[in-house]
Amino acid sequence: MNELLKVGLGRFGVEATRADKARALSALIELSVATNESARGERWRTELRAMKLSEAERMSVAKELRAATDLADWLSEES
């Protein structure tokens, strides 16, 4: 899934809506948490932070980013 999202962003990122690109980056952030690739996840977070999103887009992305935070919390409980 990770590679599929990266290829999709590379191929269609320019023509994707901001909301779609932000959702893809959110998914990549969550996947980086799941695969313990924090450096990669931070790169996606930096790209996401740099996007000029509307308030509605930010709220939508925030909901999706909670999944990454929840996963990180859950994984840390398992340790």
Which residue shows structure tokens 């893809």? 24
Does 79 score more than 70 pLDDT? Answer: no
pLDDT the model gives residue 2: 73
pLDDT in tens, 22-76: 999 999 999 999 999 989 999 999 999 999 999 999 998 998 899 889 998 998 8
Chain centroid to CA 45: 7
Model confidence at 5, pLDDT cuts 50, 70, 90, reads confident
C-alpha distances in angstroms, 42 versus 4, 13, 27, 60? 19, 19, 13, 19
pLDDT the model gives residue 58: 92
What tokens appear for 69 in the block? 């935070």
